[in-house]
Structure 1
Amino acid sequence: MISERITLIALHEMESVGWTTINRLQQGLSSLMEMWNLSKKELLFLGLGPKQADAIIQQRSMELIENKLRIYEQAAIQIVTILDDSYPELLRTIAQPPKVLYAAGELSLLQLPFIGIVGTRTPTVYGKKVADDLAYELASLGFGVVSGLARGIDTVAHRGALRADQGMTVAVLGNAIGDVYPPENTGFYRDITARGLVISEYPMGTKQHPGMFPQRNRIIAGLSLGIVVIEAAERSGSLITADLALEASRDVFAVPGPITSPKSKGCHELIKQGAKLVCTTQDIAEEYQHLPILASNRRNLEQSCSDTDQKLTDEERKIVELLMGEPKTFDRLLELSHYNFGLLHSVLLSLLMKKRIASLPGSTYISF
């Protein structure tokens, strides 16, 4: 049965018909459903180009859209339009909200308060640890964690969120729904659809091109209360997401790194420009004290963090502090700690087993 919603989906599925064309139809017609009976001349009068007018006339078939809807249903892919109550309210407020979203997984997650986590595709051990910990702790507090399923920080953030008992994550694809990029995330894609949600604004079969990924970033920013940037170089794509977040009046957070690391230069620049510096999850959560979902979860997380700190000895805590933020060699730690060789070796081994530090090449260590 023809409806405004079905008409919007039909237009979105048409080749050569994009959001600009749909906007012109919405502005020029009292109802999108009028589209089914318009002549080419009438479509041109509304401001459409000849290519778009021809595309609509050639592809406007209820049989065609019904066949496509069956394909999505068989693939367990749900469709959410901007006309639906289930469309996330925060996303409606951005400059160019997607008209249609394709979703695989638990659709109700779109109503969660989200924090976006983005960063480099080639993170350091430090970056991976920070992303995993922040995502896990944010998810434990009741936030949904949203990212882009790309290599590096994105993937680590999704995994960190799913580590939490009730952790939820949403992956926003920069390619067609049903396709997986990068391909090595195919198994993880299935994990997210089982426990979280994967969304895309691109219909099945859409050919991938580079411009789709920057477009995806506006959805990550639009869904989020705030964006956390972890390890971004000076010209990182993650900075585009941060800019989009600012344009949408979202909070921007940045995790500092070693001043000598090129991967942290973008983060340091964001901090100079006013982004909130993040050292702990509390630095993010304190901006959202008003959210009811945080109250009980915050107490549980604080107790968990307190228990973790209590497991460290005084000697271990001193080494963790010495290694915070910048790696140091074994010899440098001997010099700074004044421990003897045997004690330092024992402490480092214990911290490695507790996963509070990481070993880097050349007998070098870093803590998180």
Structure 2
Amino acid sequence: MTPGSPPNREELRYWLALHRAPLIGSRRFCAILAHVHSPRVLFETKAADLAALGLKEPTISYLCRPDWQAVETDLHWLSASGHDCLILHDPRYPPLLREIPDPPPLVFVRGDISALSTRQIAVVGSRNPSPSGRRIARDLARGLVSAGFTITSGLALGIDAAAHSGALEADGITIAVAATGLDRVYPRRHQELAETIVERSGALISEFPTGTGPKAEHFPRRNRIISGLSLGTVVVEATSRSGSLITARFAAEQGREVFAVPGSIYSPLSRGCNELIKNGAKLVQTVEDIVEEFQTQSTVQAYEPSFQTDSETDQPYMELLKYIAYDPTSVDTLVAATGKTPEVIMSMLLMLELQGHVASTAGGQYFRIQ
């Protein structure tokens, strides 16, 4: 294989085979590539010589008897239209991802490969966000799309899905990095979202081969790719133990920008973001806070939440809104503050919720989102 060119099918078989070898992570794979011109060499080397390279017995045993049937399954998947595999030497391999300390030696792609080389911003956060968090993620994604960025995230429930959806709503490109093989979608309820991403000139990407299901240890590996593809990572709502903080840490280690949306000191969903800001992440209140770091402020269109009185909302509703915090507020608190009956308060809250000014919690409380 000529360096800097895509591999032919026969050469790719050896890349795929080595990729499936036990105890061969991305760092060891890349270290091997520094000593051999092709993975094929390892499969033609005697066991004793493989041991001399420092490889462990399970790896050596596999290299002597590769699982070619599994490799054929990968190749069968790759034969479908819109499916591809980019090895580290491939000129189409995402340039920013190649720069990280442990780039995946190969990535599977479904969709438009050119999307992987666009200017990307990662938007990540809680799988169980507040309604306000979902709205912020969608608005930020829409605004970043209008500024010329691609939105990258992890296809997870919550903030990830909101970010992907916001990009699609703005007719933008979005990339989903999977923690499984691309022959399946996780979570299953995002099958339609995944198909839409591909149909709209975006891409699904994974370092995991076909047949790989979701495992806890796969998600941190997925997260380093999300940050590695991106110029910066924005965290929207995260608890102090959120996996999104792992993505932010990877971004910092990779020399990329880290952004966080602040929140209430009383909200567990804000603790992770507030801690990031305390430790040096840039506080985000508007899309411009992100874009200005990349010197393209003039291309931004405002999509930040704003509150304005209009003819549909009269003064009593505005007065009630003053007593509703951005943290959950009970109906009893509003009754005590306004002197109105619970029935009147509930009726007014319903109108404010329909107009998008407040949202309700599972516990029957309300908080302001505009």
Answer yes or no: same fold by TM over 0.5: yes
Say whether 1:232 aligns with 2:249: no
Call closer, same or farther: CA 1:335–1:217 in 2, change over 3 Å.
same
Tell me how far apart the structure 1 counterparts of residues 26 and 158 of structure 2 sit (CA, whole Å).
31
Tell me how far apart the structure 2 counterparts of residues 238 and 58 of structure 1 sit (CA, whole Å).
39
**Could you say which residue in structure 1 is the equivalent of 2:179?**
174
Structure 2's unaligned 5+ residue stretches are 1-7
- SS of aligned partner of 1:229: strand
Bigger drift between 315-324 and 200-209 goes to: 315-324
- Per-residue CA deviations over 1:17-38 (Å, capped at 9, x if unaligned) read 4435523432332444433422
Structure 1's unaligned 5+ residue stretches are none
Q: Report the AA paired with residue 274 of structure 2.
A: H
Q: Report the AA paired with residue 159 of structure 2.
A: I
- SS of aligned partner of 1:199: strand
Q: Report the AA paired with residue 147 of structure 2.
A: L
Given the two structures, how large is their TM-score scaled by the length of structure 1? 0.83
- SS of aligned partner of 1:132: helix
- SS of aligned partner of 1:154: helix
| Contact 1:134–1:281 under 8 Å retained in 2 | yes
**Could you say which residue in structure 2 is the equivalent of 1:355?**
356
- SS of aligned partner of 2:231: strand
Q: Report the AA paired with residue 54 of structure 2.
A: G
Bigger drift between 6-15 and 348-357 goes to: 348-357
- SS of aligned partner of 2:176: strand
| Contact 2:177–2:204 under 8 Å retained in 1 | yes
Call closer, same or farther: CA 1:179–1:363 in 2, change over 3 Å.
closer
| Contact 1:36–1:60 under 8 Å retained in 2 | no
More helix by share: 1
Q: Report the AA paired with residue 45 of structure 1.
A: A
Q: Report the AA paired with residue 46 of structure 1.
A: L
Call closer, same or farther: CA 1:280–1:319 in 2, change over 3 Å.
farther
**Could you say which residue in structure 1 is the equivalent of 2:86?**
80
**Could you say which residue in structure 2 is the equivalent of 1:11?**
18
Call closer, same or farther: CA 1:75–1:206 in 2, change over 3 Å.
farther
Call closer, same or farther: CA 1:80–1:319 in 2, change over 3 Å.
farther
Map 1:278-317 → 2, pairs under 5 A: 278-289=284-295, 295-296=298-299, 298=300, 301-302=301-302, 312=310
Map 1:71-110 → 2, pairs under 5 A: 71-74=77-80, 76-110=82-116
Map 1:1-368 → 2, pairs under 5 A: 7-14=14-21, 17-59=24-66, 65=71, 68-74=74-80, 76-164=82-170, 166-195=171-200, 196-289=202-295, 295-296=298-299, 298=300, 301-302=301-302, 312=310, 325-328=326-329, 352-360=353-361, 362=364, 364-368=366-370
Call closer, same or farther: CA 1:110–1:156 in 2, change over 3 Å.
same
| Contact 2:230–2:256 under 8 Å retained in 1 | yes
Say what the alpha-carbon RMSD is for the aligned residues. 3.4
**Could you say which residue in structure 1 is the equivalent of 2:4?**
none
Bigger drift between 19-28 and 102-111 goes to: 19-28
Shift of 1:344: 9.7
Q: Report the AA paired with residue 266 of structure 2.
A: T
Given the two structures, how large is their TM-score scaled by the length of structure 2? 0.83
Q: Report the AA paired with residue 55 of structure 1.
A: Y
Tell me how far apart the structure 2 counterparts of residues 55 and 111 of structure 1 sit (CA, whole Å).
34
| Contact 1:161–1:169 under 8 Å retained in 2 | yes
Call closer, same or farther: CA 1:317–1:173 in 2, change over 3 Å.
farther
| Contact 1:24–1:47 under 8 Å retained in 2 | no
| Contact 2:11–2:40 under 8 Å retained in 1 | yes
Call closer, same or farther: CA 1:246–1:18 in 2, change over 3 Å.
closer
